[in-house]
Amino acid sequence: MSSPVSYPVQPPVPPPLPPRRHRRSFAGPFVLIVLGIVFLLGNLHLLSWARLGTWFAHYWPLLLILWGVIKLIEHQQAQRDGLPPRGIGAGGIFLVIVIVVCGLIATQASRFNWGEIRDNMNIDDSDLDNIFGQTYNFDDHLEQDVPSSATGLRVNNDHGAVRVSTANDNKITVVVRKRVGAESQSDADKYDRQTKPQITLAGNVIVLDARTHAAGDHAVQSDLDISLPRKMELHIIGRKGDVSVTGRDGEIEIASQHGDVAVEDVNGNVKLNLEKSSAKIEQITGDVHIDGRLNEVSVTDVKGSVQLDGEFQESVKLARISKNVAFKSSRTNMEFSSIAGELDLDSDDLHADKITGPLHLTTRSKQIRLADVSGDARVEDDNGGIEVSMRSLGNVQIDSRNGDVQLSLPDKASFRVDARTRDGEIQSDFPELKISNGDHEATASGSVGNGSSHIVINNQHDGIEIRKASAAAPTPPAPPAMPAKPAKSLPAPKAKVEPTDN
């Protein structure tokens, strides 16, 4: 009997090892916790959003450092557990890129002069307070006896209105109404203490400082109501806020930005240096000098001279100026001896009446209408109609490039004429003048009376009219007769250049 066949015994197969699992990174939860804490503190007004933005702009690289520390700890833990270290991953790379890009943008933004940008865009601090915090109101009161040696007051108010009136005693009284932007009442109280106005004496000048800048970047606005003796001189420096001055017997000097300035009833000179502001000046016995970049300007009832230099974006109104008027901008130069009527100047038109010469006006792209002009007159306009009515005739010269020219003269005036135009005709109410209207050129010459005044008119394009004052602007009859026919209006110029200022 054959022996049984033996087979080798197979060792048991060990069960497969479970796959090694990566530990989940806790960098993501850490970021969520940090962001949650930041937004919670902001919503509870425990931290200012502006302050958080400033911190991020300066310290955002710390986020990358913390991220690197977390990844290093995870790598060491994986080695101790015998697990393969976990890489950064696509999500981590994306988060690092976002942090770097946002950090660089925030750093560059923190270096901008946001105060200047805010001023140029005319954004009020209270608008920002409503977004990033609350507004708290404070009142204050200051009094100071005026020393016998003091001759003037200097006011420094970086942000807020200044109103000056006349005191009944020999004291300076200041009523302060303050608005503070802050995240809490305690912060507002601190900023209020830091920005208490101060009155000091520097030589013979009293200095009132609103100190709105003492709280740093925090929004503080102080409105000052000041009363002081009438004979004290006044010097006001402000960056943002309206200025109003009434009743002074001394000189006034105001430098202001982004506000309306009003000065009334002053026995002395007034000097204004304004930026993106408007000015209203009334009842001044001295001289008035205004310069800068302004919106609207109104100057009336001035016994002295008026000088305006700068750029005027909207309108200029002058009325009843007793002495010399000088106006200079990039577009218009004008000077005359006085004005008993009114002058209205804007970007397209210049209208005035009762002007005393010698008048010298140079401008462009305006419709000009001057009535009741006395004395010598010289008018130049590159692109616009010109209408001049003389009350008392002197020497007159009118130069125009595009636009009709109409000159009205007194019926019994004595003058001689030299007039020339191309692409237009010459018309006259004076038969003594010799007029030649050709195909390409028209001329007028001759004398009326003894020819004591010389009139020169040059027009490159369009027509010329020389009228008698009675025919050009008849006096309306008394009621109930029909009203007089209105004076002929000038047609629009053929070519118009878009104006940028006055």
Q: Which of 123-127, 202-206, 224-228, 304-308 has the lowest mean pLDDT?
A: 123-127
Helix (H) or strand (E) holding 30: helix 27-43
Q: Which of 93, 111, 129 is a domain's end point?
A: 111
Q: In this structure, how many other beta carbons lie within 10 angstroms of the beta carbon of residue 122? A: 9
Bridge partner list, 245 = 164, 263
Q: Which of 57, 85, 111 is a domain's end point?
A: 111
Q: Which of 88, 111, 134 is a domain's end point?
A: 111
Ramachandran assignment for 189, one of left (phi > 0), alpha (psi -120 to 50 degrees), beta (any other): alpha
* CA torsion, ordered 407, 411, 417, 420, to nearest 10 deg: 30
Beta pairing class for 367-381 and 359-363: parallel
pTM: 0.71
66 Cβ neighbours under 8 A, 6+ residues apart: 30
Q: Which of 113-117, 375-379, 442-446 has the lowest mean pLDDT?
A: 113-117
pLDDT digits (tens, 9 = 90+) for 338-350: 999 999 999 889 9
Of residues 188 and 51, which shows the higher confidence score? 188
* Residue type present at position 496: K
pLDDT digits (tens, 9 = 90+) for 118-177: 555 555 544 444 444 688 999 999 999 999 889 999 999 989 999 999 999 999 999 999
Residue 84: inside a domain: yes
Residue 132: inside a domain: no
Bridge partner list, 278 = 260
pLDDT digits (tens, 9 = 90+) for 21-43: 555 666 666 766 776 777 777 66
CA distances from 385 to 179, 354, 370 (A): 52, 20, 11
- At 185 the three-state DSSP class reads helix
Average pLDDT of the segment spanning 240-251 = 94
Give CA–CA dist 87/211, Å, rounded.
56
Ramachandran assignment for 446, one of left (phi > 0), alpha (psi -120 to 50 degrees), beta (any other): left
Average pLDDT of the segment spanning 44-57 = 67
Residue 356: inside a domain: yes
Residue 501: inside a domain: no
Residue 18: inside a domain: no
Residue 146: inside a domain: no
Number of structural domains in the chain: 2
Q: Where are the beta strands (DSSP E) in 183-305?
A: 198-202, 205-209, 220-228, 233-240, 243-248, 252-257, 260-266, 270-284, 288-302
Q: Of the candidates 96, 169, 185, which has an alpha carbon nearest to the alpha carbon of residue 137?
A: 185
What is the C-alpha radius of gyration for the chain, rounded to an integer number of angstroms? Answer: 39
Its domain, for residue 81, covers 27-111
